[in-house]
Chains A and B, each alone.
Chain A
Amino acid sequence: METTALTAKENAKQAKKMKRSETWRRIKRNKMIYLMILPGIIYFLIYKYLPMYGLIISFQDYKPYKGIMGSEWVGFEHFQRLFESTEFWMIFKNTLVLFGLQIFIFFPIPIIISLMLNEVRHSFFKRGVQTLIYIPHFMSWVVIVSISYVMLTLDGGIVNAILETLGFEKINFLLNEDWFRPMYILQVIWREAGWGTIIFLAAITAVDPQLYEAARMDGANRFRQMWHITIPAIRNVIIVLLILKIGDVLELGFEHVYLLLNSSNRSVAEIFDTYVYVAGLQQGQFSYSTAVGFFKGGVGLAMVVFANWLAQKFDEEGIY
Chain B
Amino acid sequence: MAKQRISAGSKVFDFFNYFLLALLGIITILPFIHVVGSSFATSAEVANTKFLLFPTEFSIKAYEYIFSTDTIFRALGVSILVTVGGTLWSMLFSTLTAYGLSRRDLVGRRAINFMIVFTLLFNGGMIPTFLVVQQTGLLNSLWALIIPVTINAFNMIILRSFFMNLPAGLEESAKIDGANDFSILFRIVLPISLPAIATISLFYAVTYWNTYMHAILYLADADKWPVQVLLRQIVVLASGMNYDAETYTDVPPPEVTVKMATIVVATVPVLLVYPFLQKYFAKGALLGSVKG
- Chain A interface (Cβ within 8 Å of chain B)? 23, 26-27, 29-30, 32-34, 36-37, 39-41, 43-44, 46-55, 57, 64, 113, 116-117, 119-120, 125, 128-136, 138-143, 145-147, 149-151, 153, 156, 158, 161-162, 165, 174-175, 190, 194, 198-199, 202-203, 206, 219, 221-223, 237, 240-241, 244, 247, 254-255, 258-259, 261-264, 266, 273-274, 276-278, 280-282, 286, 289-290, 293-294, 296-298, 300-301, 304, 319-320
Q: Which residues of A contact B20 (CB under 8 A)?
A: 116
Q: Which of A39, A132, A145, A219 has the most C-beta atoms of chain B within 10 angstroms of its own C-beta?
A: A132
Q: Which residues of A contact B25 (CB under 8 A)?
A: 128-129, 132-133
Q: Which residues of A contact B285 (CB under 8 A)?
A: 198-199
The complex places the Cα of A300 from the Cα of B290 at a distance, in Å, of 23
The complex places the Cα of A49 from the Cα of B22 at a distance, in Å, of 47
The complex places the Cα of A175 from the Cα of B25 at a distance, in Å, of 29
Is there an interface contact between A294 and B21, defined as CB atoms closer than 8 Å?
no
The complex places the Cα of A29 from the Cα of B97 at a distance, in Å, of 17
The complex places the Cα of A153 from the Cα of B255 at a distance, in Å, of 13
B236 part of interface (Cβ distance < 8 Å): yes
Q: Which residues of A contact B130 (CB under 8 A)?
A: 280-281
Q: Which residues of B contact A300 (CB under 8 A)?
A: 121-122
Task: Return A154 CB to nearest CB of chain B, in Å.
Answer: 10
Is there an interface contact between B267 and A304, defined as CB atoms closer than 8 Å?
no
Is there an interface contact between B105 and A26, defined as CB atoms closer than 8 Å?
yes
Q: Which residues of B contact A175 (CB under 8 A)?
A: 241
Is there an interface contact between B125 and A140, defined as CB atoms closer than 8 Å?
no
Given the known interface contacts A43-B150, A48-B119, A151-B34, the answer about A221 and B127 at a Cβ–Cβ threshold of 8 Å is: no
Q: Which residues of B contact A304 (CB under 8 A)?
A: 121
Q: Is the interface of B mostly helix, strand, loop or mixed?
A: helix
A-B residue pair count with CB separations less than 8 angstroms? 300
Is there an interface contact between A37 and B96, defined as CB atoms closer than 8 Å?
yes
Q: Which of B9, B100, B127 has the most C-beta atoms of chain A within 10 angstroms of its own C-beta?
A: B127
Is there an interface contact between A44 and B127, defined as CB atoms closer than 8 Å?
no
Q: Is the interface of A mostly helix, strand, loop or mixed?
A: helix
Q: Which residues of A contact B100 (CB under 8 A)?
A: 33-34, 36-37, 40
The complex places the Cα of A261 from the Cα of B274 at a distance, in Å, of 30
Partner of A276, one of B28, B126, B270, B286: B126
B228 part of interface (Cβ distance < 8 Å): yes
Is there an interface contact between B105 and A41, defined as CB atoms closer than 8 Å?
no
8 pairs, A vs B, C-beta closer than 8 Å: A27-B107, A138-B271, A141-B210, A149-B235, A254-B126, A258-B213, A263-B243, A277-B217
Q: Which residues of A contact B21 (CB under 8 A)?
A: 113, 116-117, 120, 125, 129
Is there an interface contact between A280 and B127, defined as CB atoms closer than 8 Å?
yes
Instruction: For chain B, give the interface size range.
Output: 35 or more
The complex places the Cα of A88 from the Cα of B185 at a distance, in Å, of 51
B6 part of interface (Cβ distance < 8 Å): yes
Is there an interface contact between B107 and A147, defined as CB atoms closer than 8 Å?
no
Partner of B97, one of A37, A53, A156: A37
B232 part of interface (Cβ distance < 8 Å): yes
Given the known interface contacts A129-B21, A199-B289, the answer about A290 and B228 at a Cβ–Cβ threshold of 8 Å is: no
The complex places the Cα of A52 from the Cα of B129 at a distance, in Å, of 8
The complex places the Cα of A294 from the Cα of B17 at a distance, in Å, of 46
Is there an interface contact between A131 and B278, defined as CB atoms closer than 8 Å?
yes
Is there an interface contact between B124 and A50, defined as CB atoms closer than 8 Å?
yes
Is there an interface contact between A135 and B29, defined as CB atoms closer than 8 Å?
yes
The complex places the Cα of A120 from the Cα of B25 at a distance, in Å, of 14
Residue of B nearest to A139 (CB): B267
The complex places the Cα of A203 from the Cα of B128 at a distance, in Å, of 38
Residue of B nearest to A255 (CB): B213
The complex places the Cα of A270 from the Cα of B226 at a distance, in Å, of 26
Given the known interface contacts A52-B128, A140-B212, the answer about A132 and B28 at a Cβ–Cβ threshold of 8 Å is: yes
Q: Which residues of A contact B151 (CB under 8 A)?
A: 40, 43-44
The complex places the Cα of A11 from the Cα of B10 at a distance, in Å, of 70
Q: Which residues of A contact B262 (CB under 8 A)?
A: 146
Residue of B nearest to A113 (CB): B24
Task: Return A159 CB to nearest CB of chain B, in Å.
Answer: 10
Given the known interface contacts A113-B24, A255-B212, A276-B126, the answer about A202 and B289 at a Cβ–Cβ threshold of 8 Å is: yes
B70 part of interface (Cβ distance < 8 Å): no
Given the known interface contacts A261-B242, A289-B127, the answer about A156 and B132 at a Cβ–Cβ threshold of 8 Å is: no
Is there an interface contact between B212 and A39, defined as CB atoms closer than 8 Å?
no
Is there an interface contact between A47 and B260, defined as CB atoms closer than 8 Å?
no
B131 part of interface (Cβ distance < 8 Å): yes
